[in-house]
Chains A and B, each alone.
Chain A
Amino acid sequence: MALISDGRFVEDGWRRLADEEDLPKSGRIIVSLARLPHALEKLTPETSLGVLAPNTTEIDALATALPRLGLISIAFPAFADGRGFSLARLLRSAGFTGELRASGRLLADQYTHALGCGFDAIEIPDDLAARQDETQWRAARDAYSRTYQRGYISRGSILDARRKAAQ
Chain B
Amino acid sequence: MSVHDLSAAARPNAPTTTYRYDEFDADFVRERVAEFREQVRRRLEGSLTEDEFRPFRLMNGLYLQLHAYMLRVAIPYGTLTARQMRCLADIADRWDRGYGHFTTRQNLQYNWPKLIDTPDILDALADVEMHAIQTSGNCIRNVTADHFAGVAADEIEDPRATAEFLRQWSSLHPEFSFLPRKFKIAVTGATHDRAAILAHDIGLRILKNDAGDIGYQVMVGGGLGRSPFIGKIIRDFLPRADLLAYLEAIMRVYNRYGRRDNKYKARIKILVHEKGIEAIRDAVEKEFASMDRSVFSHDPEEFTRIAAYFAPPPYESLPAVSATLRAARNDNPALDNFVAVNVSPHREPGYAIVTVSLKPIGGIPGDATSAQMRTLADASERFGFGELRVSHEQNIILPHVKQDDLPALWRILDAAGLATANAGLISDIISCPGLDYCSLATARSIPIAQEISKRFSDMSRQRRIGKLGVKISGCINACGHHHIGAIGILGLEKKGQESYQITLGGDPTFSAAIGEIVGPGVGAEQVPDVIEHLVDFYLAEREEKETFIDTWRRVGHARFKDALRREGEDGAYI
Interface residues in chain A, defined as those with a beta carbon under 8 Å from any beta carbon in chain B: 56, 79-83, 85-87, 89-90, 93, 107, 109-110, 112-117, 131-132, 136, 139-140, 143-154, 158-159, 161-163, 165-166
Within residues 286 to 317 of chain B, which ones have a CB less than 8 A from any CB in chain A?
Answer: 290-292, 295-296, 298-299, 301-302, 305
* In-complex Cβ contact of B168 among A158, A161, A163 (8 A): A158
Which residues of chain B are within 8 angstroms of A131 by Cβ–Cβ distance? Answer: 46-48
Query: With A and B bound together, what is the CA distance between A105 and B8 in angstroms?
Result: 60
Which residues of chain B are within 8 angstroms of A109 by Cβ–Cβ distance? Answer: 35, 39, 48, 56
Interface residues in chain B, defined as those with a beta carbon under 8 Å from any beta carbon in chain A: 22, 24-25, 27-28, 31, 34-35, 38-39, 42, 46-48, 52, 55-56, 138, 168-169, 171-179, 244, 252, 255-256, 260, 290-292, 295-296, 298-299, 301-302, 305
Question: Are the CB atoms of B169 and A86 closer together than 8 Å?
Answer: no
**Shortest CB distance B468–A (Å):** 41
- Between A and B, 18 residue pairs with Cβ closer than 8 Å are A79-B52, A79-B178, A80-B178, A82-B175, A82-B177, A82-B178, A82-B255, A93-B291, A93-B292, A132-B47, A144-B172, A146-B28, A147-B28, A149-B169, A150-B296, A153-B174, A154-B174, A162-B22
Query: With A and B bound together, what is the CA distance between A158 and B25 in angstroms?
Result: 8
Which of chain B's residues has its CB closest to A118's CB? B174
Query: With A and B bound together, what is the CA distance between A115 and B298 in angstroms?
Result: 23
Question: Are the CB atoms of A158 and B28 closer together than 8 Å?
Answer: yes
Question: Are the CB atoms of B47 and A80 closer together than 8 Å?
Answer: no
Which residues of chain A are within 8 angstroms of B292 by Cβ–Cβ distance? Answer: 93, 151
Q: Which of B31, B138, B172, B244 has the most CB of A within 10 A?
A: B172
Which of chain A's residues has its CB closest to B55's CB? A80
Which residues of chain B are within 8 angstroms of A154 by Cβ–Cβ distance? Answer: 174
Q: Which 3 A-B pairs have the closest CB atoms?
A: A82-B178, A116-B174, A151-B295
Which residues of chain B are within 8 angstroms of A115 by Cβ–Cβ distance? Answer: 174
Which of chain B's residues has its CB closest to A119's CB? B174
Which residues of chain B are within 8 angstroms of A132 by Cβ–Cβ distance? Answer: 47
Question: Are the CB atoms of A162 and B302 closer together than 8 Å?
Answer: yes
Query: With A and B bound together, what is the CA distance between A87 and B256 in angstroms?
Result: 8
Query: With A and B bound together, what is the CA distance between A153 and B179 in angstroms?
Result: 19
Which residues of chain B are within 8 angstroms of A145 by Cβ–Cβ distance? Answer: 27, 31
Query: With A and B bound together, what is the CA distance between A82 and B252 in angstroms?
Result: 10
**Shortest CB distance A113–B (Å):** 5
Which residues of chain A are within 8 angstroms of B290 by Cβ–Cβ distance? Answer: 93
Known contacts A107-B48, A131-B46, A152-B174; A83 and B168 CB within 8 A of each other: no
Question: Are the CB atoms of A162 and B175 closer together than 8 Å?
Answer: no
Query: With A and B bound together, what is the CA distance between A144 and B169 in angstroms?
Result: 15
Which residues of chain B are within 8 angstroms of A114 by Cβ–Cβ distance? Answer: 174
Question: Are the CB atoms of B52 and A112 closer together than 8 Å?
Answer: no
Question: Are the CB atoms of A159 and B174 closer together than 8 Å?
Answer: no
Which of chain A's residues has its CB closest to B174's CB? A116
Which of chain B's residues has its CB closest to A158's CB? B24
Question: Are the CB atoms of B55 and A147 closer together than 8 Å?
Answer: no
Q: Which of A110, A115, A116, A148 has the most CB of B within 10 A?
A: A148
Question: Are the CB atoms of B178 and A152 closer together than 8 Å?
Answer: no
Question: Are the CB atoms of B295 and A81 closer together than 8 Å?
Answer: no
A sample of 20 more A-B contacts (CB under 8 A), given A87-B256, A149-B173, is: A79-B52, A82-B178, A86-B175, A86-B252, A107-B56, A109-B48, A112-B172, A113-B177, A113-B178, A131-B47, A140-B35, A143-B31, A144-B35, A147-B174, A150-B296, A150-B299, A152-B175, A162-B24, A162-B302, A163-B298
